[in-house]
């Protein structure tokens, strides 16, 4: 696996690969890789001739009081995991190259970013979309892969790609869970032993809600109430949002209808975790 740090070298590599007839898959990450990332890399390896994964901890998507300064870094392990998953290139741009002095342009997607994570983290999607657009412009992939754990991010990226007529396909991979149900996340590394146990309240609440929908519950408020009850039993948990909403607009629903997204953001001992699932008749 080759490591490329320079933006021009990255673009030259991609163009050369495409001139040679290869299709290019791209998995953008912030590192501290886990099975969720690696499943996207494997999907790219299966579908594309060349797979590029990037690691860039993007300062623009962290708010003032968030965890940028302590975000986990594990480059040697990440490199090893990517190599074993079959990635061809690790792209490692520097913050100075991505945001050179005088950088003034930011991209915003309206409406779909006004709810859920966008509401609690006002600068988050502006930072994500700006860096994703830059990375897509540099790597020029045929297909870029995003995880469904960040379902709102996935939808916002798709909206940006559609609205700006970008020539890239967006593919997604399902949430990968630990054996006990906890959704894999780089931030799980922050959890103490006690937090780790409490963190199971997210997947427990989602399972209870899905089960209730399967049993015939259609009223969104009843699901929200049940999930709140499950989470509030955990002393270490602080709810940011519990949402039963449309999976594309993220507007809150009154009834489940054909399909609904159930999404949660909960702080466990100070670590903000998110999780979600799709419920309803049309469930994929």
Min dist. Cβ of residue 115 to ligand PAF (A): 17
- Tell me whether residue 24 is exposed, middle or buried, using C-beta atoms within 10 angstroms of its C-beta: 0 to 12, 13 to 18, 19 or more: buried
Q: Residue 44 interacts with ligand PAF (CB under 6 A)?
A: no
125 near 113, Cβ under 8 Å?
Answer: yes
- Which of 51, 153 has the CB closer to ligand PAF? 153
- Among residues 8, 34, 37, 106, which one is catalytic? 37
Q: Which of 34, 127, 140 is nearest to 82 (CA)?
A: 34
248 near 176, Cβ under 8 Å?
Answer: no
- Which of 148, 234 has the CB closer to ligand PAF? 148
Q: Residue 29 interacts with ligand PAF (CB under 6 A)?
A: yes
Q: How many CB atoms neighbour CB 131 within 10 A? A: 23
Binding map of ligand PAF across residues 128-147, x = CB under 6 A, - = no contact: x--xx---------------
- Which of 30, 261 has the CB closer to ligand PAF? 30
- Which of 166, 228 has the CB closer to ligand PAF? 166
- Please report, for residues 12, 219, 226, 247, 266, the alpha-carbon distance to residue 253 in angstroms, rounded to integers and kept in the order given: 47, 9, 16, 10, 20
Min dist. Cβ of residue 161 to ligand PAF (A): 13
Q: Pick from 4, 24, 25, 28 the residue near ligand PAF by CB under 6 A.
A: 28
**Active site includes 34?**
no
Cα 205 from chain centre: 20
Q: Pick from 30, 98, 242, 264 the residue near ligand PAF by CB under 6 A.
A: 30
Q: How far apart are CA 279 and CA 284, in angstroms?
A: 9
Min dist. Cβ of residue 253 to ligand PAF (A): 25
Min dist. Cβ of residue 50 to ligand PAF (A): 19
3-state secondary structure (DSSP) of residue 141:
coil
Q: Residue 58 interacts with ligand PAF (CB under 6 A)?
A: yes
78 Cβ contact partners less than 8 Å away, ≥ 6 residues apart: 31, 32, 33, 55, 90
Catalytically active residues, by annotation = 37
**In the complex, which residues of this chain contact ligand PAF (CB under 6 A)?**
28-30, 58, 61, 128, 131-132, 150, 153
């Amino acid at each position: 696996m080759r490591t490329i740090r320079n933006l021009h070298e990255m673009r030259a590599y991609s163009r050369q690969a495409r001139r040679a007839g290869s299709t290019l898959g791209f998995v953008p990450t912030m590192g501290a890789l886990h099975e969720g990332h690696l499943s996207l890399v494997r999907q790219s390896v299966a579908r594309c001739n060349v797979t590029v994964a990037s690691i860039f901890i993007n300062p623009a998507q962290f708010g003032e009081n968030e965890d940028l300064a302590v975000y986990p870094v594990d480059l040697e392990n990440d490199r090893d995991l990517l190599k074993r998953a079959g990635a061809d290139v690790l792209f490692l741009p520097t913050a100075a190259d991505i945001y050179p002095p005088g950088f003034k342009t930011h991209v915003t997607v309206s409406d779909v970013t006004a709810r859920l994570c966008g509401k609690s983290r006002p600068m988050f999607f502006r930072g994500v979309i700006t860096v994703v657009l830059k990375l897509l412009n540099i790597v020029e992939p045929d297909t870029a892969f995003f995880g469904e754990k960040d379902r709102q991010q996935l939808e916002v990226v798709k909206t940006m790609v559609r609205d700006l007529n970008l020539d890239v396909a967006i593919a997604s991979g399902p949430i990968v869970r630990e054996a006990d149900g906890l959704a894999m996340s780089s931030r799980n590394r922050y959890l103490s032993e006690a937090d780790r146990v409490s963190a199971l309240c997210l997947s427990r609440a989602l399972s209870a809600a899905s089960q209730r929908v399967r049993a015939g519950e259609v009223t969104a408020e009843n699901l929200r109430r049940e999930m709140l009850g499950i989470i509030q039993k955990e002393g270490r948990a602080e709810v940011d949002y519990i949402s039963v909403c449309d999976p594309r607009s993220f507007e809150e629903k009154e009834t489940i209808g054909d399909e609904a997204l159930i999404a949660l953001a909960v702080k466990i001992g100070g670590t903000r975790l998110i999780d979600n699932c799709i419920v309803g008749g049309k469930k994929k």
